[in-house]
């Protein structure tokens, strides 16, 4: 078991000192926010300093008309969402708290953790990933240098687009100290339309037809337990009504398109955030696949006893399994990749959390990480390589 | 003249041997005739011209890989080029570099309407993607003004935008994957037909990297169903402040228009005199707001936008009733650059982005600078996203005016950075704004970005002299100049 010490930096200078000490000594720095995703990846094997980033908290600047929020990464996600909602805005990529997935209480997730893990919810289908909404950041690199990247304006091509690699960087390469995030207006209304009784292939086809229409579907998911396929419409009331009529006509040959009441709709989409339907699966995978290949993959996975939920119109499968088995090879054969989100510590020590890359890409990725963190200060062994 | 990296005369001396080696890889695609090479001496930034050492036009990924591997082994620089429409000199050749033209990668490889993706070779034009899918009711959203000519590979290199990017995003938000060849000849695939790539988002890093990290040989893009309808409003204001406040109020009301453009009085007058679109000449600021989507949504939003702008005292408001009306509203805006070109022997086009709330302040400071330099300026502005295109008017035949215009332009870009904005919103850094990068980034930050470059290209052979200031020098030169309306692509609209 690795020895773990704790650090609670308050500013960039503290982080610079921590990095310098780590480079001089043998310890590695494990960045953490609220700990909602602490059970993702392997348990560190060497001496580690756990760096609690929640000292970097608070809203720095928010002018709703600019559609930009500047926030420190340790700020709770819930606080950010409450602030934006009070101004009729939102994070359009629909990030969510991973605590419940790992059997923890909700409310601990931070905006920095959301960005570092590249978390996006059901609306990713229409509005993009976290990476599409991070405009700029400040950070301290593994070289022990404070730097900024991107900017606080939405349209910017000055220099490399480093915010893209910050999203999903999992605290490797650099420690984020400030974020410039794009905000967007919250829709006047939401309505969830459902078709019941479809099999996976019919569900994917129905969702594809809806997305290929002028229905402007915000989110599309399929719950196999209820055999329920859902299309979420968002926007101004007049527009939602018009698009509902359009979709009812378009999908009339598929089934009756009913509308969920507000509570039922909330519960349906909540099921794709807390993944309660897969709560008892020992292993939980996040599978990204071309939507058209999802039905075939599901068929193959079901033969292994896997259970699943389908979001992003088939582009995202949450898959619960008993053992790791052949899942990754089946997913690769379908043109996708799979992250291991939840497993016992022994399994996480054996199976890398992130899907292994082609050798040339893995080598390139390692060189990119080294460009920011030449000594591997932020490499704790959590992601296998160091 | 703009300084470029020192020419390696040993490489230049080996020109014939290099041509032979490249011909062995691409027998029918090496250009070394000096007259033929002049075609490639410049891109959309015509102020700078330099014929390449020679040009090679590969047709397959394997050829690109062999070319890059050989050049890497031989220590020969390579400048990639798409259609050559860059406004920032991103494809400016070097005397000792091979120009790698991607124009023969001109085929769309597959269209998948069920998953709404197109896989294409990089030399296909932006508009050709839309043309290929429009009969099925789809389009490719990013629409840079050069879209009839610019290639999708060039769009990836520059992270190109367009007037609709507030709602639909830039290239980076619409590209799902690339096949790319690294300088050592290694072929990698980043992303693909899925919503996200495995591992680190290297695709996001490659988009907008201005040809410094690798050569893209295949692109996967997302396509969207074409909106049911689009309508536009043409709204005049007695002041820039009121127009800016109206824009903020529209967004605060939860409305993200498909396009939201502003022109100042100088630009409005120039455009009206040129295309007679019926623009209100009394307006100090003119807004063009386009709304798209279902008919019911457009009708609803047109009423909402009209009410908001009336609340801010608009002096005129016209609403398109027909598609011809809508196109007419846009005609003046899309002709703004050449329209200004008619008023002045030369103009110089800038491309900064500012936080929108700073617009009135920036325009006031710009007016002060205009008086100080004794040069006129007209402004067109992507009001939704804060991207400002000041057009500085000057006469290159009057001694000193060109230098004055350049100094004025650099002051404007520094002003953009000072108020929290950036040097370039969509034209790229290229050679044009290379030497202004220190206004936005510290030496340490530039060193960090250079080390990232080295992770892809340790010897710095790909597109040298672009994006980053040359080490050990800091001259500031090089801008988009248009003399007597003569641009590299006179038939391309620029807006």
Q: Would you call A118 and B429 a contact, using CB atoms and an 8 Å cutoff?
A: no
Give pLDDT, residue A3: 76
Give the integer Cα–Cα distance in Å for A123 and B26.
Answer: 46
Chain B residues within an 8 Å CB radius of A156:
353, 422, 424-425
SS3 B481: strand
Instruction: State the count of interchain CB pairs (< 8 A) between A and B.
Output: 255
Give the integer Cα–Cα distance in Å for B182 and B189.
Answer: 11
Chain A residues within an 8 Å CB radius of B162:
none
**Residues 6+ positions from B443 with CB-CB distance below 8 Å:** none
Residue B42 near residue B122, CB atoms below 8 Å: no
Burial class (CB in 10 A: 0-12, 13-18, 19+), B14: middle
Give the integer Cα–Cα distance in Å for B448 and B451.
Answer: 5
B224–chain A Cβ distance below 8 A for any pair: no
Within a 13 Å sphere around the CA of A188, how many CA atoms are in the beta-carbon half? 15
Give pLDDT, residue A26: 83
pLDDT in tens, A294-336: 999 999 999 999 999 999 999 999 999 998 888 999 999 999 9
Q: Is residue A61 in a domain?
A: yes
For residue B481, what pLDDT band results from cuts at 50, 70 and 90?
low
Q: Which of A185, A217, A232 is the last residue of a domain?
A: A185
**Which run of H or E residues covers position B452?**
helix B443-456
Looking up tokens 């980076």 gives: B172
CA distance B297 to chain A (A): 5
DSSP symbol at B241? H
Question: The tokens of B372 are what?
Answer: 């100080």
Residue A88 near residue A198, CB atoms below 8 Å: no
Give the integer Cα–Cα distance in Å for B78 and A185.
Answer: 45
Give pLDDT, residue B484: 60
Of B10-14, B159-163, B198-202, the one with minimum mean pLDDT is B159-163
B189–chain A Cβ distance below 8 A for any pair: yes
Within a 13 Å sphere around the CA of A56, how many CA atoms are in the beta-carbon half? 31
CATH number at residue A89: 3.30.465.10
Give the integer Cα–Cα distance in Å for B257 and B248.
Answer: 12
Chain B residues within an 8 Å CB radius of A132:
169, 172-173
Q: Which of A141, A164, A185 is the last residue of a domain?
A: A185
CA distances from B203 to A165, A322, B170, B252 (A): 9, 33, 14, 33
Question: The tokens of A111 are what?
Answer: 């905006």
Q: Would you call A160 and B452 a contact, using CB atoms and an 8 Å cutoff?
A: yes
- Which residue of chain B has the CA closest to A133? B173
Q: Which of A185, A205, A227 is the last residue of a domain?
A: A185
SS3 A235: strand
Give pLDDT, residue B478: 39
Angle, in degrees to the nearest 10, between helices A237-250 and A200-211? 130
Does B477 score more than 50 pLDDT?
Answer: no
**Residues 6+ positions from B121 with CB-CB distance below 8 Å:** B105, B106, B107, B108, B109, B153, B217, B218, B219
Question: The tokens of A265 are what?
Answer: 């709709």
Residues A169 and A63 occupy one common structural domain: yes
Give the integer Cα–Cα distance in Å for B66 and B75.
Answer: 14
Q: Would you call A157 and B428 a contact, using CB atoms and an 8 Å cutoff?
A: yes
SS3 A295: helix
Give the integer Cα–Cα distance in Å for A220 and A193.
Answer: 10
Residues A80 and A135 occupy one common structural domain: yes
Residues A232 and A258 occupy one common structural domain: yes
Q: Would you call A236 and B301 a contact, using CB atoms and an 8 Å cutoff?
A: yes
Q: Find the angle CA(A27)-CA(A102)-CA(A129) to the nearest 5 degrees.
A: 85
Give the integer Cα–Cα distance in Å for A204 and B291.
Answer: 30
Give the integer Cα–Cα distance in Å for B445 and B441.
Answer: 6
Q: Is residue A317 in a domain?
A: yes
Q: Would you call A371 and B249 a contact, using CB atoms and an 8 Å cutoff?
A: no
For residue B289, what pLDDT band results from cuts at 50, 70 and 90?
very high
Give pLDDT, residue B473: 42
For residue A177, what pLDDT band results from cuts at 50, 70 and 90?
very high
Q: Which A residues, 30 through 49, put their C-beta within 8 Å of a C-beta on chain B? A: none
Which residue did the predictor score with more confidence, B336 or A291?
A291
Q: Would you call A159 and B248 a contact, using CB atoms and an 8 Å cutoff?
A: no
- Which residue of chain B has the CA closest to A186? B254
CA distance A322 to chain B (A): 23
DSSP symbol at A186? P
Residues A248 and A295 occupy one common structural domain: no
Q: How many CB atoms lie within 10 A of CB A313?
A: 29
The gap from C-alpha B58 to its chain's centroid, in whole angstroms, comes to: 25
Q: Is residue A24 in a domain?
A: no
Question: The tokens of B378 are what?
Answer: 């007209």
Mutate to test the interface with A, among B223, B294, B417, B442 (most CBs of A within 10 A): B294
For residue B48, what pLDDT band results from cuts at 50, 70 and 90?
confident
Q: How many CB atoms lie within 10 A of CB A94?
A: 22
Segments of B297-342 assigned E as strands:
316-319
Q: Is residue A327 in a domain?
A: yes
Give the integer Cα–Cα distance in Å for B101 and A234.
Answer: 44
pLDDT in tens, B240-286: 999 999 999 999 899 999 999 999 999 999 999 999 999 999 999 99
**Closest Cβ opposite residue B449 in set A129, A160, A288:** A160
B192–chain A Cβ distance below 8 A for any pair: yes
Alpha helices, H only, A66-219: 77-86, 111-117, 124-127, 162-166, 200-211
CA distance A202 to chain B (A): 12
Residue B338 near residue B485, CB atoms below 8 Å: yes
Mean pLDDT computed over A362-367: 97
CA distances from A18 to A27, A131, A143, A153, A358 (A): 10, 27, 11, 31, 34
Does B452 score more than 70 pLDDT?
Answer: yes
Mutate to test the interface with B, among A121, A154, A296 (most CBs of B within 10 A): A154
Residues A180 and A194 occupy one common structural domain: no
Mean pLDDT computed over A58-66: 95
Chain A residues within an 8 Å CB radius of B354:
153
Q: Which residues are bridge partners to B390 per DSSP? A: B379
Chain A residues within an 8 Å CB radius of B252:
64-65, 88
Terminal Cα-to-Cα distance of chain B (whole angstroms):
27
Mutate to test the interface with A, among B144, B201, B210, B246 (most CBs of A within 10 A): B201
Widest CA span in chain A: 68
Residues A60 and A178 occupy one common structural domain: yes
DSSP assignments along B9-24, one per residue? HHHHHTHHHHHHHHHH
- Closest to A186 measured CA to CA, from A150, A212, A218, A213: A218
Q: Would you call B202 and A368 a contact, using CB atoms and an 8 Å cutoff?
A: yes
Give the integer Cα–Cα distance in Å for A226 and A208.
Answer: 20
Q: Would you call B195 and A316 a contact, using CB atoms and an 8 Å cutoff?
A: yes
Q: Which A residues, 222 through 251, put their C-beta within 8 Å of a C-beta on chain B? A: 235-236, 238-239, 241-243, 246
pLDDT in tens, B340-388: 888 899 998 999 999 999 998 999 999 999 999 999 999 999 998 999 9
Give pLDDT, residue B341: 87
CA distances from B261 to A285, B156, B234 (A): 45, 24, 10
Chain B residues within an 8 Å CB radius of A291:
114-115
B138–chain A Cβ distance below 8 A for any pair: yes
Terminal Cα-to-Cα distance of chain A (whole angstroms):
17
Q: Would you call A65 and B248 a contact, using CB atoms and an 8 Å cutoff?
A: yes
- Closest to B452 measured CA to CA, from A166, A361, A368, A173: A368
Mean pLDDT computed over B393-415: 92
Give pLDDT, residue A117: 97
A64–chain B Cβ distance below 8 A for any pair: yes
Question: The tokens of B309 are what?
Answer: 């702008």
Phi, psi of B494 (to 5 degrees): -130, 120
Mean pLDDT computed over A242-266: 96
B353–chain A Cβ distance below 8 A for any pair: yes
Does B491 score more than 80 pLDDT?
Answer: no
Q: Write down the pTM of the prediction.
A: 0.95
Mean pLDDT computed over B164-185: 96
B190–chain A Cβ distance below 8 A for any pair: yes
Q: Is residue A76 in a domain?
A: yes
Looking up tokens 């597959």 gives: B110
CATH number at residue A333: 3.30.70.100
Q: Which A residues, 79 through 108, put their C-beta within 8 Å of a C-beta on chain B? A: 88
CA distance B165 to chain A (A): 9
Chain A residues within an 8 Å CB radius of B430:
none
Does B64 score more than 50 pLDDT?
Answer: yes
**Which run of H or E residues covers position A3?**
none
- Which residue of chain B has the CA closest to A161? B205
Mean pLDDT computed over B132-145: 96
Q: Find the angle CA(B474)-CA(B478)-CA(B484) to the nearest 5 degrees.
A: 160
Give pLDDT, residue B472: 56
Q: Is residue A225 in a domain?
A: yes
CA distance B361 to chain A (A): 15
Chain B residues within an 8 Å CB radius of A337:
194, 197-198
- Which residue of chain B has the CA closest to A205? B114
For residue A186, what pLDDT band results from cuts at 50, 70 and 90?
very high
Residues A60 and A113 occupy one common structural domain: yes
Residue B79 near residue B92, CB atoms below 8 Å: yes
Q: How many CB atoms lie within 10 A of CB B359?
A: 25
**Residues 6+ positions from B198 with CB-CB distance below 8 Å:** A288, A337, A339, A354, A355, A357
- Which residue of chain A has the CA closest to B225? A212
The domain tally of chain A equals 3
Give the integer Cα–Cα distance in Å for B52 and B42.
Answer: 9
Q: Find the angle CA(B150)-CA(B156)-CA(B159) to the nearest 5 degrees.
A: 95
CA distance A114 to chain B (A): 15
Residue B219 near residue B178, CB atoms below 8 Å: yes
Residues A302 and A221 occupy one common structural domain: no
Give pLDDT, residue B162: 86
Give the integer Cα–Cα distance in Å for A270 and A280.
Answer: 17
Q: Would you call A211 and B296 a contact, using CB atoms and an 8 Å cutoff?
A: no
Mean pLDDT computed over A145-169: 96
Give the integer Cα–Cα distance in Å for A46 and B29.
Answer: 55
- Which residue of chain A has the CA closest to B172? A132
**Residues 6+ positions from A248 with CB-CB distance below 8 Å:** A193, A257
The gap from C-alpha A17 to its chain's centroid, in whole angstroms, comes to: 30
CATH number at residue A247: 3.30.70.2190
Residues A282 and A309 occupy one common structural domain: yes
Residue B139 near residue B126, CB atoms below 8 Å: no
Mutate to test the interface with B, among A146, A155, A340 (most CBs of B within 10 A): A155
Question: The tokens of B431 are what?
Answer: 């050679």
Phi, psi of B359 (to 5 degrees): -60, -50
B481–chain A Cβ distance below 8 A for any pair: no
Domain that holds residue A138: 55-185
Does B475 score more than 50 pLDDT?
Answer: no
**Closest Cβ opposite residue B452 in set A167, A169, A371:** A371
Question: The tokens of B190 are what?
Answer: 């980043």
Q: Is residue A368 in a domain?
A: no
Does B402 score more than 70 pLDDT?
Answer: yes
Residue A198 near residue A255, CB atoms below 8 Å: yes
For residue B55, what pLDDT band results from cuts at 50, 70 and 90?
very high
Looking up tokens 């308050």 gives: A10
Q: Which residues are bridge partners to B55 per DSSP? A: B31, B99
Angle, in degrees to the nearest 10, between helices B443-456 and A359-372? 160
Q: Which residues are bridge partners to B388 per DSSP? A: B352, B381
Chain A residues within an 8 Å CB radius of B467:
159
A208–chain B Cβ distance below 8 A for any pair: yes
* Percent of chain A clearing pLDDT 90 (strictly above): 94
Residues A265 and A304 occupy one common structural domain: no
In chain B, the domains with their CATH numbers are 9-101 (3.30.43.10), 111-225 (3.30.465.10), 228-334 (3.30.70.3450)
Q: Is residue A375 in a domain?
A: no
Give pLDDT, residue B493: 65
Residues A109 and A160 occupy one common structural domain: yes
For residue B163, what pLDDT band results from cuts at 50, 70 and 90?
confident
Does B483 score more than 70 pLDDT?
Answer: no
For residue A337, what pLDDT band results from cuts at 50, 70 and 90?
very high
Residues A158 and A196 occupy one common structural domain: no
- Closest to B123 measured CA to CA, from B100, B94, B144: B100
pLDDT in tens, B219-237: 999 999 999 999 999 999 9
């Amino acid at each position: 078991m690795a020895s773990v010490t704790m650090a609670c930096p308050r500013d960039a200078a503290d982080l610079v000192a921590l990095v310098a000490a780590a480079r001089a000594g043998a310890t590695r720095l494990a960045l953490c926010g609220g700990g909602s995703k602490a059970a993702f990846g392997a348990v560190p094997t060497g001496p580690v300093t756990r760096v609690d980033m929640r000292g970097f908290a608070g809203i720095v600047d928010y002018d709703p008309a600019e559609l930009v929020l500047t926030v420190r990464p340790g700020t709770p996600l819930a606080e950010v969402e409450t602030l934006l909602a009070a101004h009729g805005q939102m994070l359009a990529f629909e990030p969510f708290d991973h605590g419940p997935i790992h059997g923890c209480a909700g409310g601990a997730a931070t905006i920095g953790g959301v960005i570092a893990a590249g978390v996006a919810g059901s609306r990713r289908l229409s509005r993009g990933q976290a990476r599409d909404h991070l405009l700029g950041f400040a950070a301290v690199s593994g070289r022990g240098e404070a730097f900024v990247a991107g900017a606080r304006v939405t349209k910017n091509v000055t220099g490399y687009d480093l915010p893209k690699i910050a999203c999903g960087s999992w605290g490797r390469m650099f420690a984020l100290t400030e974020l410039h995030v794009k905000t967007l207006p919250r829709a006047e209304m939401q309505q969830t339309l459902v078709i019941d009784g479809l099999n996976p292939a019919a569900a994917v086809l129905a969702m594809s037809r809806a997305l290929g229409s002028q229905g402007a579907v915000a989110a599309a998911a399929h719950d196999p337990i209820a055999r329920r396929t859902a299309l979420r419409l968002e926007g101004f009331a007049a527009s939602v009504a018009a698009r509902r009529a359009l979709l009812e006509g378009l999908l009339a040959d598929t089934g009756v398109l009913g509308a969920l009441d507000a509570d039922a709709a909330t519960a349906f989409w909540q099921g794709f955030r807390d993944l309660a339907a897969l709560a008892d699966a020992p292993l939980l995978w996040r599978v990204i696949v071309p939507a058209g290949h999802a039905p075939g993959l599901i068929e193959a996975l079901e033969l292994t006893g896997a259970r699943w939920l389908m979001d992003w119109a088939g582009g995202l499968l949450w898959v619960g399994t008993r053992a790791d088995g052949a899942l990754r090879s089946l997913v690769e054969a379908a043109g996708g990749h799979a992250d291991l989100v939840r497993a016992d510590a022994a399994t996480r020590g054996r199976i890398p959390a992130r899907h292994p890359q082609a050798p040339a890409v893995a080598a390139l990725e390692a060189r990119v990480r080294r460009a920011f963190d030449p000594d591997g200060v932020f490499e704790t062994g959590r992601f296998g390589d160091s | 003249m703009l300084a470029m990296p020192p020419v390696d005369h040993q490489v230049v001396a080996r020109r014939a041997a290099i041509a032979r080696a490249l011909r062995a890889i691409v027998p029918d695609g090496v250009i070394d005739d000096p007259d033929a090479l002049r075609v490639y001496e410049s891109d959309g930034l015509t102020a700078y011209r330099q014929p390449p050492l020679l040009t090679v036009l590969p047709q397959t990924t394997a050829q690109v890989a062999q070319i890059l591997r050989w050049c890497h082994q031989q220590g020969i620089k390579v400048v990639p080029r798409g259609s050559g429409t860059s406004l920032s000199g991103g494809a400016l050749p070097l005397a000792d570099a091979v120009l790698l033209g991607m124009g023969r990668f001109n085929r769309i490889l597959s269209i998948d309407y069920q998953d709404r993706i197109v896989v294409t070779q990089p030399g296909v034009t932006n508009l050709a993607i839309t043309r290929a899918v429009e009969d099925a009711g789809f389009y490719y959203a990013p629409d840079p003004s050069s879209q009839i000519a610019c290639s999708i590979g060039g769009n990836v290199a520059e992270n190109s935008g367009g007037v609709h990017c507030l709602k639909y995003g830039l290239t980076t938000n619409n590209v799902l994957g690339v096949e790319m060849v690294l300088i050592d000849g290694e072929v990698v695939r980043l992303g693909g037909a899925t919503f996200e790539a495995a591992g680190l988002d290297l695709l996001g890093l490659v988009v907008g990297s201005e040809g410094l990290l690798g050569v893209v040989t295949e692109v996967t893009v997302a396509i969207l169903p074409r909106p049911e309808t689009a309508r536009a409003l043409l709204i005049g204001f007695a002041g820039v402040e009121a127009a800016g406040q109206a824009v903020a109020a529209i967004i605060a009301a939860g409305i993200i228009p498909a396009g939201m453009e502003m022109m100042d009085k100088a630009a409005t007058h120039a455009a009206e005199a040129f295309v007679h679109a019926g623009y209100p000449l009394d307006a100090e600021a003119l807004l063009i707001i386009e709304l798209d989507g279902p008919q019911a949504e457009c009708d609803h939003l047109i009423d909402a936008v009209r009410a908001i702008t009336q609340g801010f005292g608009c002096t005129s408001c016209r609403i398109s009733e027909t598609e011809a009306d809508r196109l007419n509203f846009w005609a003046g805006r899309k002709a703004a650059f050449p329209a200004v070109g008619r008023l002045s022997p030369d103009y110089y086009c800038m491309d900064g982005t500012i936080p929108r709330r700073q617009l009135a302040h920036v325009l006031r400071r710009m007016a002060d600078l205009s008086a100080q330099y004794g040069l006129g300026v007209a402004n067109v502005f992507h009001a939704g996203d804060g991207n400002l295109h000041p057009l500085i008017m000057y006469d290159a035949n009057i001694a000193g005016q060109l230098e004055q215009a350049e100094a004025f332009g650099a002051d404007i870009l520094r002003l953009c950075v000072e108020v929290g904005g950036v040097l370039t919103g969509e034209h790229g850094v290229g050679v044009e704004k290379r030497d202004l990068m220190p206004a936005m980034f510290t030496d340490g930050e530039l060193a960090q970005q250079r080390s990232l470059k080295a992770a892809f290209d340790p010897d710095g052979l790909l597109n040298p002299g672009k994006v980053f200031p040359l080490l050990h020098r800091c001259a500031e030169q090089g801008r988009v100049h248009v003399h007597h309306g003569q641009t590299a692509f006179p038939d391309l609209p620029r807006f």
